[in-house]
Amino acid sequence: MKKLLIALSILLTVQLGAQTKEAAVAVKNFQKAKAAADDPKKSSNPATWLALSSAYLEVFDAPIKALWLDAAQAEVKVLLKDQRINETSEKEVNGEKMTVSSYYDKDLYFRPDGTLAAWVITKPYLEGDLLAEAFTAANKGIELDPKGTKTKDFVTVLNTIETRYKNEGMAAYNVGDVARASKNFEASYLCSSHKLVNKFDSTMVYYTALTANMNKDYDRALKFFQICLDNGYEAKGDVFSYMAEIYKGRGDMNKTKELLGKAFSKYPTSQSVLVSLINAYLESNDDPAKVLEYIHQAQKNEPQNASLLYAEGNVWKKLNDMTKAVEMYKKSSELDPNYYFGYFATGAAYYDKAVDLQTKSAEELDDAKYNAMVKELEANLEAAIEPFEKCYERTTDPEVKLVCAEYLKNIYFRFRDRGENYKANYDKYNAIFESTKK
């Protein structure tokens, strides 16, 4: 009896660590469907190719069963209860430490919060790109079905392939494989744009372009960004910005400014577009007044938009006119007292000026000039207190609050001997800053 139990235990271990029953059935079904497709008598029937396409999908799905991205680790264990984890390891992916559970045929990547970030098939049950084979088989069947008797079934298969490619793309992206991610996103788009489905999936086209850009495949990135624009998908101006960055990298500043000009005219409040536009003009040594023309036009269109005054302040800051920059920052806060960016930028402008004076004063040998610099330095620090404190009060962003607290801590530390009020404020903001380190 004991030997029998040991034998059963060994058999169970082998089954848990090897090909699953579902995989074996899927491979058997595929072999049957492939044999039918290879049979001259059956190969002219669209249903034969529909079955082959579905069989490829069944084999593809076998390792991951019903898994989905972002599934909780506990849910995954339930779904894969008949499969054994052979090894568990830690791996850093895109700066994030993930737990990798290695099974017989796949590796599953879990984020620190226990959600499924990705899977990688390590032992495919058939060689080749199974999704591509499924797509090819479906197209063959569609060609053999001019009357559309199986259209509904083929659309279902195409939608399934599209979803699988989309999931594969996200899984690849989550483990940092942007080249594979881009390939899968493009394939998903091709499925959705098939004549039978006829759907423009803007997200997949955009993701294809983004990942191609990340992979430094710039020609391909431009191709898919252009497809986005041709179909009216602009991602609030970001598509223009990405394309402009590519052209700037190639030294084509005219095309860069042309794209950013179009983007700004459509999305005048987009900070990414505006910053790119400003940098393009400044880097090409062009007239900065042209940038201000864009902003002033936008201000006429939206006179109550505080962010446009803030944007003008950023232009003056780039031009090293801090007086004009601070004027614009203050106006943005006056227009909208809850627009905390204006307060922060004002405080930062005064603080940066103080730091610059401190650097210069350290090199000054003339006592009178030195004392004058120190006096001006401290005046700028004092001027920074009120806007930083207002920013701290108005913002709900914890990171912005923390940065404000750090600035205020530093300022009040310098003035802590002036009186109890300064000392108390130093203690207050220092405690806030230090609390984040625990």
- CATH code for the structural domain at 304-438: 1.25.40.10
DSSP for 86-98, written as a single string: -EEEEEEETTEEE
Reading phi first (left if > 0) and then psi (alpha if -120 to 50, else beta), residue 176 is in left
SS3 (DSSP) at 380: helix
Half-sphere exposure of 44 (CA within 13 A, CB side): 2
**Position with higher pLDDT, 18 vs 197:** 197
Question: CA-to-CA distance for 153 and 53, rounded, in angstroms?
Answer: 11
Closest C-alpha to 410, from 358, 372, 338, 337: 358
Contacts for 175 with CB less than 8 Å, ≥ 6 apart: 93, 109, 117, 118, 120
* Separation CA 383–CA 380 (nearest Å): 5
**Domain boundaries along the sequence of the chain:** 304-438
Distance CA 205, CA 349 (A): 41
End-to-end CA distance of the chain: 59
pTM: 0.68
Q: Which tens digit of pLDDT belongs to each residue from 71-97?
A: 999 999 998 988 899 999 999 988 889
Annotate 105-159 with DSSP letters as a single string: SEEEEE-TTSBEEEEEESS-SSSS-HHHHHHHHHHHHHHT-TT-TTHHHHHHHHH
How does pLDDT run across 325-366, given as a tens digit for each residue?
999 999 999 999 999 999 999 999 999 999 999 999 988 888
Local confidence band at 6 (pLDDT 50, 70, 90 cut-offs): very low
Q: How confident is the model at residue 16, as a pLDDT?
A: 42
Residues near 234 by Cβ (< 8 Å), separated by ≥ 6?
Answer: 228, 240, 263, 266, 267
438 CB neighbour count, 10 Å cutoff: 4
